[in-house]
């Protein structure tokens, strides 16, 4: 995006507002990270259409650090499945710092894949394949999430490798605990041995992969977009895996500040000690911040403030039901009030027994429920007919389709006649409709035709006069 637009203005506003924060300090336990410029501050947002917005130092490179963890977890889930990965690493918030010895008593299984212990085991689950080393697989996966080839900051890697004794100690502890639990199910066939000690070096390299705030926003947007990178269109992981990763980010991504973060900001997120921070709005956007000074939980101070303010101001909290659809049922009435109704007499009385429900927009489960509810209430009596007009419907997702079919089958089972105005076959091909509803549901190109057919059917074979009398 160029020059100025409303979204860029929001990001610039946040950048101006929080750029002056002076709290926190860049991490120094990895010596190379201490040399980061504490004034660097970048923000980026990527939409589900791949539109990219940024402000400040959004093109400045830094290392992923712990922001790598959800993506490597995604790779492990994709490769091995949730059950196998779950034997090695849990999904419970530890309530502890990122580098804590968060091992389940008895089994030695790390609490979750967002703390170091769990992340090291997760990396250990990525096996080398014939052609690619474990790290090559990790780097390829991270690059797909970012939509461009990423590389390693060798100085940061060397710096952590030279000083990372605590992580090595964690790895030895993990190996001595011998996860997975002996009492658990046996290892799946063909799964190579998992060695956390050998994996620490790969883990250090994954933490040293170089990105920008814009890269991070694309990576977060890919998770938010059901695993499909909105820039490249590549399906990096399945929608199921993306949802699971977001779930673990929501409960564990901010370590011992995860509960407070979900409460106040309400978005799955992940922080890293280089000052990177991502947050994802499922089906809405990916967000990222970069600013090296950290708070006590190891989260970027400016990043936390900016993403928190953005969520509050734009109402992005996950629990606020952002996706409530607009109106679905635009008309619920009876055919006698339509301009096309006969002026009076028995014909008009028949039209009064034909309910009309008009739906619009993209139908998901929420919208389908509204349609069925309106059908159920339509018309003055339960023996009448009902016309469902779907001409203004732009799409029906799989769950909504199944719900509509089931509802229409039920309506017919209750003895009501239904006709659907559906020139675009929104209800699916006739065979499917017959299979799902158990009958040939009459479908028409125009509302007038559908109403006419219903009125005739209500009149019975002897015409309107007799039907009106009885
Ligand atoms: N490489 C860092 C470590 O293991 C990552 C920690 C983090 O970003 N919270 O200590």
Beta bridge partners of 56: 42
Which CATH number fits the domain that encloses residue 381? Answer: 3.30.750.24
Residues 6+ apart with CB under 8 A from 261: 253, 254, 269
177 and 272 belong to one structural domain: yes
Q: Is residue 221 part of a domain?
A: yes
Do 173 and 231 fall within a single domain? yes
Task: Assess whether 177 and 65 both reside in one domain.
Answer: yes
Is the CB–ligand 1 distance for residue 116 below 6 Å? Answer: yes
**CA 88 from centroid of its chain's CA atoms:** 24
Residues 179 and 245 in one domain: yes
Report whether residue 276 contacts ligand 1, using a CB cutoff of 6 Å: no
Residue 319 domain-assigned (yes or no)? no
Distance 279 CA to ligand 1 centre (A): 18
Same domain, 352 and 298: no
**Hey, CA dihedral for 301, 307, 313, 316, is it positive or negative?**
negative
Q: Whose CA is nearest to atom 2 of ligand 1?
A: 65
Expressed in angstroms and rounded, the spacing between residue 27 Cα and the centre of ligand 1 is 10
Q: Ligand 1, atom 10: nearest CA belongs to which residue?
A: 99
Residue 161 belongs to domain with CATH number: 3.40.710.10
Q: Which domain holds residue 346?
A: 329-469
Judgement on whether residues 361 and 247 belong to the same structural domain of the protein: no
Q: Is residue 450 part of a domain?
A: yes
Q: What's the gap in Å between 198 CA and the centre of ligand 1?
A: 17
Residue 60 lies in a domain: yes
Give dist(CA 272, CA 454) in Å, integer: 64
Token pair in block for residue 388? 């469902």
Q: Does ligand 1 come within 6 angstroms of the Cβ of 298?
A: yes
**Is 68 touching ligand 1 by the criterion CB < 6 Å?**
no
Q: Nearest to residue 115, comparing CAs of 253, 259, 241, 247?
A: 253
Residues 221 and 131 in one domain: yes
Distance, CA 254 to ligand 1 centroid (Å)?
12
Domain's final residue, options 255, 282, 314: 314
d(CA 138, CA 130): 15
Strands 329-334 and 285-290: unpaired
Verify that 390 and 270 share a domain, yes or no.
Answer: no
Q: Which of 263, 285, 314 is the last residue of a domain?
A: 314
Count of the separate structural domains present in the chain = 2
pLDDT of res. 405: 94
In a domain, 257, yes or no: yes
Which ligand 1 atom sits nearest the alpha carbon of residue 207?
1
Residue 321 included in any domain? no
Same domain, 337 and 309: no
Is 324 inside any structural domain?
no
State pTM to two decimals: 0.83
Does residue 103 have its Cβ closer than 6 Å to ligand 1? no
Please give the pLDDT value at position 189: 62
Is there a single domain that holds both residue 129 and residue 80? Answer: yes
Could you say which of 279, 314, 349 is where a domain stops?
314
Kindly give the confidence (pLDDT) of every residue in the chain, 470 residues in length, as a single tens digit, with 9 standing for 90 and above.
456 798 999 999 999 999 999 999 999 999 999 999 999 999 999 999 999 999 999 999 999 999 999 999 999 999 999 999 999 999 999 888 888 887 888 778 999 999 999 999 999 999 999 899 999 999 999 999 999 999 999 999 999 999 999 999 999 999 988 766 544 556 666 556 789 999 999 999 999 999 999 999 999 999 999 999 999 999 999 999 999 999 999 999 999 999 999 999 999 999 999 999 999 999 999 999 999 999 999 999 999 999 999 999 888 999 986 556 678 999 999 999 998 888 888 889 999 999 999 999 999 988 999 999 999 888 666 678 999 999 999 999 999 999 999 999 988 888 888 999 999 999 999 899 999 888 888 999 999 999 999 999 998 876 554 433 33
* 320 found inside a domain: no
Does 448 lie in the same domain as 354? yes
> Residues 184, 270: one domain?
yes
C-beta of 272 in contact with ligand 1 (< 6 A)? yes
């Amino acid at each position: 995006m160029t020059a100025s637009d409303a979204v860029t203005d929001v990001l610039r506003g946040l950048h101006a507002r929080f750029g002056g924060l002076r709290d926190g300090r860049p991490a120094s336990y990895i010596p190379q990270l201490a040399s980061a410029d504490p004034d660097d501050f970048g923000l980026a947002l990527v939409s589900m259409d791949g539109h990219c917005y940024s402000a400040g130092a959004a093109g400045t490179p830094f290392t992923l650090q712990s922001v790598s963890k959800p993506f490597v977890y995604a790779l492990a889930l994709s490769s091995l499945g949730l059950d196998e990965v779950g034997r090695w690493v849990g999904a419970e918030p530890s309530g502890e710092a990122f580098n804590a010895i968060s091992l389940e008593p008895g089994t030695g299984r790390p609490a979750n894949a967002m703390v170091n212990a769990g992340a090291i085991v997760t990396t250990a689950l990525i096996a080398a394949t014939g052609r690619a080393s474990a790290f090559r697989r990790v780097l390829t996966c991270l690059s797909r999430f970012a939509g461009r080839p990423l590389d390693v900051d060798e100085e940061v890697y060397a710096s952590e490798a030279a000083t990372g004794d605590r992580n090595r100690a964690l790895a030895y502890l993990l190996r001595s605990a011998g996860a997975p639990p002996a009492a658990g199910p046996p290892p799946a066939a063909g799964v190579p041995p998992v060695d956390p000690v050998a994996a620490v070096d790969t883990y250090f390299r994954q933490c040293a992969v170089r990105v920008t705030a814009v890269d991070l926003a694309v990576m977060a947007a890919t998770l938010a977009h059901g695993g499909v990178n909105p820039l490249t269109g590549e399906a990096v992981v399945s929608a199921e895996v993306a949802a699971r990763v977001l779930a673990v980010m929501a409960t564990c991504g901010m370590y011992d500040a995860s509960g407070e973060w979900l409460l106040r900001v309400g978005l799955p997120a992940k922080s890293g000690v280089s000052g990177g921070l991502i947050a994802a709005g499922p089906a809405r956007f990916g967000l990222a911040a970069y600013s090296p000074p950290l708070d006590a939980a190891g989260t970027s101070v400016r990043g936390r403030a900016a993403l928190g303010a953005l969520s509050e101001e734009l109402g992005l909290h996950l629990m606020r039901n952002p996706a409530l659809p607009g109106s679905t049922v635009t008309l619920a009435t009876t055919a006698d009030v339509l301009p096309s109704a006969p002026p009076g007499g028995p014909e008009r009385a028949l039209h009064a027994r034909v309910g009309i429900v008009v739906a619009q927009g993209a139908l998901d489960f929420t919208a389908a429920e509204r349609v069925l509810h309106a059908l159920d209430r339509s018309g003055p009596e339960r023996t009448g007919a009902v016309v469902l007009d779907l001409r203004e419907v732009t799409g029906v997702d799989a769950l909504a389709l199944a719900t509509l079919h089931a509802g229409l089958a039920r309506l017919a089972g209750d003895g009501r006649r239904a006709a659907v105005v559906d020139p675009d076959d929104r209800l699916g091909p006739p065979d499917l409709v017959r299979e799902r509803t158990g009958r040939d549901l009459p479908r028409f190109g125009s509302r007038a035709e559908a109403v006419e057919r219903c009125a005739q059917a209500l009149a019975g074979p002897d015409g309107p006069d007799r039907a009106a009398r009885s």
